[in-house]
């Protein structure tokens, strides 16, 4: 289980990095508005796999509800810290890039990505136990 979590974490990080690099390098976030939502969902996937890997590493991971809620709390807190910081930063810019609805939507997509990642890990691990 530890090896699969590490692979999923690294893979999701690489995908997130590629999306971010291409999105920012070619202004794809401007031309493809849904790419930002996809990037936030992938960030949620990465945060969930990172949390699962960390919990497995310290021997505190439980595949049931406890693991799900703990993983989602870490994903939510991480998203809140980042998005609130981004929202506050945008308040002091001479031009506003994002508003509150964008911040809220970003948090929702990070959570959806976290739910997807945990569900994927749960079903893959459940099948491996048989």
**pLDDT level of residue 22 (50, 70, 90 thresholds):** very high
CA 56 – CA 41 distance, rounded (Å) = 23
How large is the average pLDDT for residues 107-129? Answer: 90
* Nearest one of 23, 13, 22, 75 to 46, comparing CA atoms: 13
- For residue 65, is pLDDT > 90? no
Three-class SS state of 63: coil
CA 22 – CA 28 distance, rounded (Å) = 7
Other CB atoms within 10 A of residue 72 CB:
18
Q: Given this model, what pLDDT does residue 79 score?
A: 96
The count of structural domains within the chain is 1
Describe the chain by its helix, strand, coil percentages, rounded to 5.
Answer: 85, 0, 15
Name, in order, each residue with C-beta under 8 angstroms of 104's C-beta and a sequence gap of 6 or more.
Answer: none
CA 122 – CA 4 distance, rounded (Å) = 11
Tell me which residue range forms the domain holding 31.
2-129
């Amino acid at each position: 289980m530890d090896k699969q979590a590490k692979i999923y974490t690294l893979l999701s990080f690489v995908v997130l990095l590629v999306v971010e690099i291409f999105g920012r390098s070619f202004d794809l976030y401007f031309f493809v508005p849904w790419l930002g939502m996809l990037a936030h969902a992938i960030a949620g996937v990465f945060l969930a796999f990172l949390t699962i890997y960390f919990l497995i590493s310290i021997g505190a991971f439980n595949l049931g509800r406890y693991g799900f809620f703990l993983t989602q709390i870490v994903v939510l807190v991480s998203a809140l810290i980042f998005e609130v910081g981004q929202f506050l930063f945008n308040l002091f810019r001479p031009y506003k890039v994002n508003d509150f609805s964008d911040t809220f939507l970003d948090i929702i997509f990070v959570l959806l990505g976290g739910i997807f990642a945990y569900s994927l890990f749960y079903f893959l691990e459940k099948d491996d136990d048989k």
